[in-house]
A and B are shown apart, each in its own frame.
Chain A
Amino acid sequence: MSTSVLFDVPGPKTRARHRIYTVVAWVALVAVIAAVLMRMSSTGQLAYAKWEPFVTPSYISALLVDGLLKTLQMAFSSVVAAVLFGVVFGIGKLSDHAWLRWPCWAVVEFFRAVPVLLMMIYIFFAFGAGEGGIGSYWSVVIALTLYNGAVLAEVFRAGIQAVPAGQGEAAYALGLRKSQVMMQILMPQGVKIMLPSIISQCIVALKDTSLGYVILAPGLTRVGKSIFLEFQNQVQTAIVLAAFYILVNLALTWIATWAQRKFVGEKAVLVTDGGDRSGTAGFQI
């Protein structure tokens, strides 16, 4: 820990003290884990019957095909649409014309401040439900598109503004038009900076697809619900579903970190108000 601001390199006395802390911490952690496991076993949560669905081929394929695949599809389509939304409104917010800038600002602010679930429920009941409606799948996709698009609009704006001002000035000096400067000079450089943030926004979209549970949208949570209603194994289902999400998200985090290293270098991850500023591969809520 010699790189920490908080501590000096420990001497022999401190190291001895740390060894005692380590032992105490181990004992405490093991005690907590043991207490949880004992509780689970005394209430029959470790019984094979409760876990059986998750080793039964037909349930596994339901989880993978009707669950994971649908979830990934919803997340993917909403991220693609959100990128489009983000480009349009991000560039709109940078416009020189106030009549264009302000509406774009208002739209972005609105969709960033309203909970995704509130939007999802409204879209579902207003346009999704009943005959001729767009259905719960598209209600989820549209709600996620609006929210993630608004966050990405901020990412795009910040990304374009992060390109050194000299780049734009040099392009104007060469006689390029405003749209050419944006499309040929600023955008390509900005996108490179934005890439890690866009990938980590996929994590947000993926996690939020789970909210489709509330409007009975397809996906992992719906398959999970039908499993735990049948077997009364809520604890096990929650653990298995969480494992699915964690694995996919860890893979996405890994890709985002890789893109960060490859395209951006050591600089901190691009940050906006909507998300996390810790610089740890832009993990967002």
Chain B
Amino acid sequence: MDAVFSQFDLVLKAFLLTLELFLLAGVLSLAFGTLLAAARVGPVAVLRRAAGLYVTLVRSTPLLIIFIFVFFGLPQMDIQLPFLVKGVVSLTFYTSSFVCEAIRSGINAVSVGQAEASRAIGLTFGQSMRYVVLPQALRAVVPPLASVLIALAKNTSVAAGFGLLEATARMRYFTNDQADARTWIFLTFAIGYIVIVELISAGAGSLERRWKVAR
């Protein structure tokens, strides 16, 4: 027990890096994933196929392979990036394919009749998007996006294998140094992740309740 609490600042520092990875990759994946989703539901067949191919391939590839590619492969191609950037790039590359599918499912959850009705009362494309389709899609998209973000928070742990000293890497050092306190160390770090996960799902839950619509 002592082992962890005497160096609790290191635990906090590690979780700070975890949060940093999560927030940076989260914001970037939301942006890039939205672009992909736009391509996937858009009218241009080429972009639809290209985005579809990206999503299929990336979702079937383990995140660890993407980390290997970014951390060891890119330097071979003379692309040198700082560690944090490489971590964020790997996580974003992977997560945006899941964001894309979550958003697409949200758009598909809006029934066709809604859009038809808005056109029937004479709304333009922009108006029917702004007032009818997108608000409903946004609400439907909260639960699946929350799952994606929770997975992202847990996936930041993969960076531990690649020289980023975030929470999982820090736990590894601690358990190496203090073998007898292993279980306590593990539980401390596990609780840290549980707090992050619960915060995300509580946030999503309150948004979901506030935005609830009858369907």
CA distance A207 to B151 in the complex (A): 14
> Which interface class (under 10, 10 to 19, 20 to 34, 35 or more) fits B?
35 or more
Among A117, A232, A275: residue with most chain B CB under 10 A: A117
Contact B65 A242 (CB under 8 A): yes
Shortest Cβ gap from A125 to chain B (Å): 5
Contacting residues of chain B (34-78) with chain A, CB-CB under 8 angstroms: 41, 43-47, 50, 56-57, 59-66, 68-69, 72-73, 76-78
Q: Which of B5-13, B80-88, B107-115, B206-214 is the contact stretch? A: B107-115
Q: For B47, give the chain A residue with the smallest CB separation.
A: A25
Residues A125 and B176 in contact, CB atoms below 8 Å apart:
yes
In the bound complex, do residue A283 and residue B59 qualify as a contact, i.e. CB atoms below 8 Å apart?
A: yes
Q: Give the docked Cα–Cα distance between A277 and B144 (Å).
A: 6
Q: A45-B77, A234-B76, A285-B98 are in contact. Are A274 and B157 (CB under 8 A)?
A: no
Q: Do B115 and A207 touch (CB < 8 A)?
A: no
Main secondary structure of the interface of B (DSSP, over half): helix
Which 6 A/B pairs are nearest by Cβ-Cβ distance? A278-B105, A210-B62, A115-B157, A249-B60, A285-B151, A234-B72
By a beta-carbon cutoff of 8 Å, the part of chain B in contact with chain A is 41, 43-47, 50, 56-57, 59-66, 68-69, 72-73, 76-79, 98, 101-102, 104-105, 107-108, 110-112, 114-115, 119, 129, 133, 143-144, 147-148, 151, 154-158, 160-161, 167-168, 171-172, 175-176, 179, 182-183, 186, 189-190, 193-194, 197-198, 201
A contact residues vs B (CB 8 Å cutoff): 1, 3-8, 10, 14, 18, 21-22, 25-26, 29, 39-40, 43, 45, 109-110, 113-118, 121-122, 125-126, 203, 207-208, 210-211, 213-214, 221, 224, 228, 232-235, 237-239, 241-242, 245-246, 249-250, 253, 273-280, 283, 285
**Residue contacts A-B, CB under 8 angstroms, 18 given:** A1-B43, A6-B129, A10-B43, A14-B43, A22-B44, A114-B154, A115-B193, A117-B158, A117-B160, A117-B161, A117-B168, A121-B172, A211-B62, A232-B76, A234-B76, A242-B65, A276-B102, A276-B148
